[in-house]
Chains A and B, each alone.
Chain A
């Protein structure tokens, strides 16, 4: 990796494979970046609230730099392909929601069917590869407004993630973040040992 990777390549590298969900996430992440006029996050200038834990979130993490580890990726388990991206510097946020499709494209239906199927024949594997190529081209070339709705979001950006001291669990001896430890008299006990 000796060059600045384009966002799409970054997302694929991070996610490990190419799939329709990831590509939709790439469109959403690229849009958010342009809409808010921000660069990828270094140190929590950006914050993402994601309402799904599927493939698309990996595009948010890799392209925007809002990651689970940095604490600027907040997961709300609503099962919705909705991403709210906020910029601390610009003091604004955008909520991006994937449009509901009553009639999924036949290519997507068949692709999902083949993905669920465990083993594929040579013909089916070739068919799946072809389907993914057409889905890929369609997702990347369809106007954004046909794929997503978006609106400026009223969003109070929380403080940057805090760093807490680590204390030792009196039972297993492992370290545990202080607010997660339970006090047993004068002793700390970690959640696994309670």
Chain B
């Protein structure tokens, strides 16, 4: 007999997790896969603490998931279902307030300002409340690649940015807006499912190394941001895109939160 009983140690207490285990495979993300002689299978977030092979006893130690501490942030989403507007079409963005792309009640209007930069021109935009969201009208005359951002100054400073295509353009080398904290896409024209997407974090125009960037997408089932990335020496990080909806990247630094919505164009 060579199976073992597997125990899980939780806050010092051991409880039997699975009997007759004959296969243990440590996997990615601190996961351990267990299979026993009865064909039962489990995946637990734990590390191996102790193996007493003579007593057929293996003790795993639970890895606690970091508690989710939601904070408020702002983000933009287009009011279209296919990721871009056509010239002549009323281009409209929605502004949300919440966490992990789950919206709380509508952001209040006070202290919010919105801008668009298109073809090198910056202009202020009007915000208004519509049902449970704040809306921003971009108008019908736009044509090109619009960089939209919203700024809020309260106890902390919040920025929300997005790049929106009006008509079909393939711009590369998007210029940063010059915000105090900003997430800039590395290559705007390549935002495809099943490929890596890169962004750069700039603090006062300079790359911010070692910053934690959270990433999520429309309709995630996770309570917390499903992805936590770290910027490299050039302030860059990459994410392999696997969800169909728009993605949101978020970074916090010095009491400032800045988000960037990656609008997928299909």
A133 touching B28 by the CB < 8 A rule? no
Interface of chain A: mostly helix, strand, loop or mixed? helix
Report how many residues on chain B are interfacial, defined by Cβ distance under 8 Å: 26
Within the assembled complex, what's the spacing in Å between the Cα atoms of A5 and B265? Answer: 10
Residue B82 lies at the interface, judged by CB distance under 8 Å to chain A: yes
Residue A147 lies at the interface, judged by CB distance under 8 Å to chain B: no
Residue B153 lies at the interface, judged by CB distance under 8 Å to chain A: no
Q: What is the minimal beta-carbon distance from A16 to any residue of chain B, in angstroms?
A: 11
A 87-120 contacts with B by CB, 8 A:
105-107, 109-110, 113
Contact for A134 among B28, B84, B193, B243, CB less than 8 A: B28
Within the assembled complex, what's the spacing in Å between the Cα atoms of A78 and B211? Answer: 52
A106 neighbours in B (Cβ, 8 Å): 25, 27, 31, 33, 43
Residue A6 lies at the interface, judged by CB distance under 8 Å to chain B: yes
**Interface 1/0 per residue, B161-188 and A, CB below 8 Å:** 0000000100000000000000000000
A8 touching B194 by the CB < 8 A rule? yes
Residue A55 lies at the interface, judged by CB distance under 8 Å to chain B: no
A132 neighbours in B (Cβ, 8 Å): 242
Within the assembled complex, what's the spacing in Å between the Cα atoms of A12 and B29? Answer: 27
A26 neighbours in B (Cβ, 8 Å): 194
Q: What is the minimal beta-carbon distance from A18 to any residue of chain B, in angstroms?
A: 7
27 contacts between A and B (CB under 8 A): A1-B82, A2-B82, A2-B168, A3-B168, A5-B266, A6-B193, A9-B193, A9-B266, A12-B193, A12-B244, A18-B242, A26-B194, A106-B27, A106-B31, A107-B27, A109-B41, A122-B221, A126-B220, A126-B221, A126-B226, A129-B226, A130-B222, A133-B243, A134-B28, A136-B240, A136-B242, A137-B240
Chain B residues in the interface with A (C-beta under 8 A): 25, 27-29, 31, 33, 41, 43, 82, 84, 86, 168, 192-194, 220-223, 226, 240, 242-244, 265-266
Chain A residues in the interface with B (C-beta under 8 A): 1-3, 5-6, 8-9, 12, 18, 26, 105-107, 109-110, 113, 122, 125-130, 132-134, 136-137, 140-141
